[in-house]
Structure 1
Amino acid sequence: MIWLIGSGQMAQDYVRILQDCNVDFLCIGRGESSANICKMKTNQDVFVGGLQKFLLEQNDEKPSHVIVATNVESLFENCLLLLKQGVKNILLEKPGALKYSEFLSLNNEAKKTNSNIYIAYNRRFYASVLKAKELILEDGGVKSFHFDFTEWSHAIENLDKSLLVKNKWFLCNSTHVVDLAFFLGGKPKELNSYSSSGLDWHPSASSFCGSGISEKNALFSYHANWRSPGRWSIEIMTNNYRLIFKPLEKLFIQKKGEISIYSYDDIDYTIDMRYKPGLYLQVQNFLSNKVENFCSLFEQIEMLEYYYKIAKYNID
């Protein structure tokens, strides 16, 4: 039995995949409004009242796997409840929590129950990324890389999101890009970072620049300016290729000795077009316990040192 916690838009994307995977699952929501919308869109029954109420009313049957797809503010409390119930395998929507101390609390509780927690960075499972990994391996590995996590501040400031989430927007949203870049190029071994120009809703900074060297000995650099136009992008340099993700869902390539950049066409995007990109393979691998490409909670905690440095956050 699988549990899906949440009934909002992200949870609805998971519902469609779980239905198509023909697995037994329960959808556990909190608010009646979102639950009704979820049922209308997916024809999936939803328990209303939240996880804590569900745990009080349900029998002793424990799920083999749980996906937590609530809003960001509720990720920590729901994951902690599941750990205290002894749940062994949890796929936790990114970023996993809002505070450094909350990540540590989850990790300590997971150790007590010998539970596995994975952060749901679904972009690791894009068709474009899987093909790029093949090309990187064939060409002797990543030699250097660059990424841009520019956010559209003019749009974000008007979003119906809590100030708690907006204040940590780099952690909550920009790490989609940063996680993928370091997944491909290697986690930082050294990092020099600079930032400036805080915004009302993201006071730590809005302009970011930095460089370093990864554990794979690849040099990297990054830049983002949330006050200026731009978009997310990653460029991976190997001996013979420049692999370009712009947008991240598509792979473009430039070969040594050529000026032109063209779309890499030998990729089957069928699954990424049918579902939210990356999500189907992420779920399939999670349920099959094939977790080598996942970001574990422990890995996320390791990366927080660098995320907080890039974003100029104070340890909380």
Structure 2
Amino acid sequence: MILLVGAGPMAIQYAKVLQSMGKPFVVVGRSQQSADSFNASIGIQPFVGGIEAFLSSAHSISHAIVAVSVDQLERTTACLVENGVKNLLVEKPGGMTLEAIERLQILAQMNFASIYIAYNRRFLATVIKARELIEEDGGVTSFSFELTEWADTVQKIFKADGVKENWFFSNTSHITDLAFYLGGTPREIATFTGGSLPWHSRAARFAGAGVTEQGALFSYSGDWEAPGRWAVEVLTRKRRFIFKPLEKLQVQLLNSVAIEAVDVDEELDAKYKPGLYLQVAHFLRCDEANLCSLTEHLKKSRLYARIAAYD
């Protein structure tokens, strides 16, 4: 049985994918209101009352997708693992803090569970195409990325206690995961931070540089008190790949100033939440290629903690 935990907007996106695949699944939500909204969108009435109540009766769960709010991710995932679920796809960041992610890793190892963190941008058609071309060019030589958040917008969003204070994990890790997925995992990194925000006290400005395990140089910056947007640029000896916005791919060729869009088959990304269909497909067939394992996520989250001044 496939279990979908959560009945909010993100769970609805997962349900659309599962329905299109013809995969039967069961949905568990907490409130009647979210369950009714889910039913109105998908045509399936979720079990109401939370994961603990659902698991109190016998169930055989082969795969679980956890799409609850950030503050509930660790508790929900831990509950599933403790009740014998072995294959889990968990919305990022898995846990609200580095300590939470570390606790989940220990629990997963103790229970021989495979947990993957749902960074769906890895499965964008543009990202898949870029990785093919990067390999064709002989690999990455350098890359850079911007991780600016719109502070005024975030400040107005209602979130549970602690979510905004750990916003780098809760949200910004989307861009850092994509950058390091494309460019390579850092071997060495120097980090600098400055400033403060009412809802993110430890830093508001970020800069740094380093070298990956494959020898590519990289740099990053972000100023949450200034205009900006997420962006990634990856360089090879033949091309510059530009993701700005992240969902689009442009290329600049060697010895040229022209920047041209790359044509890709975006049918799945147009029909479903971008990247989600292929991510779910990989997860359900237990294909680890390109998925972000909890082990990988923990390793990178320790870097994120340094970048965000959380350590």
* C-alpha RMSD over aligned residues: 0.9
Cα distance in 2, alignment partners of residues 240 and 276 from structure 1: 32
Give the partner amino acid of 1:165: V
Q: Residues 218-297 of structure 1: matches in 2 within 5 Å?
A: 218-265=216-263, 267-297=264-294
TM-score, normalisation: structure 2 = 0.98
- Cα deviation code 1:31-88 (max 9, x no counterpart): 11111111111112211110001111x32x3211100000000000010011111111
> Aligned match of 2:62 in 61, 64, 69?
64
Distance 1:67 1:198 in 2: 35
User: 2:140 — aligned with what?
Assistant: 142
Question: Secondary structure of 2:75's partner?
Answer: helix
Alpha-carbon distance in 2 for matches of 1:200, 1:279: 33
Superposition pairs for residues 67-106 of structure 1, below 5 Å?
Answer: 67-106=65-104
Q: Is the 8 A contact 1:5 1:67 kept in 2?
A: yes
* Distance in 1 (alpha carbons) for counterparts of 2:99 and 2:246: 31
Query: Separation in 1 of the partners of 2:248 and 2:104?
Result: 34
- Tell me if the contact between 1:163 and 1:201 (Cα under 8 Å) persists in the aligned partners: no
Which residue matches 2:54? 54
Residue 23 of structure 1 corresponds to 23
State percent identity of aligned pairs: 44
Match of 2:194 among 193, 196, 200: 196
The structure 2 residue matched to 1:113, chosen from 94, 111, 128, is 111
Which position in structure 2 is the counterpart of 1:304? 301
- Distance in 1, matches of 2:185 and 2:161, equals 30
Gaps of 5+ in 2: none
Matched, 1:32 2:32: yes
SS in 2 for 1:166: coil
Local SS of the residue matching 1:231: coil
| CA drift at 1:99 | 2.1
Q: Distance in 1 between matches of 2:93 and 2:185?
A: 17
Amino acid at match of 2:261: S
Please tell me whether the aligned partners of residues 98 and 305 of structure 2 are also in contact (alpha carbons under 8 angstroms).
Answer: no
User: C-alpha displacement at 1:104, in angstroms?
Assistant: 2.0
**2:9 matched residue in structure 1:** 9
- Unaligned runs of 5+ residues in structure 1 are none
Name the SS for the 2:84 alignment partner.
coil
Q: Is the 8 A contact 2:97 2:169 kept in 1?
A: no
Deviation at 1:101, TM superposition (A): 2.2
Output the amino acid matched with 1:2.
I
Instruction: Kindly provide the CA deviation profile for residues 212-234 of structure 1, in whole angstroms up to 9, marking residues without a partner as x.
Output: 00111100000111111111100
2:156 and 2:45 mapped to 1: Cα distance? 32
In structure 2, distance between residues paired with 1:281 and 1:159: 29
Q: Scaled by the length of structure 1, what TM-score is found?
A: 0.97
Q: Which amino acid aligns with 1:185?
A: G
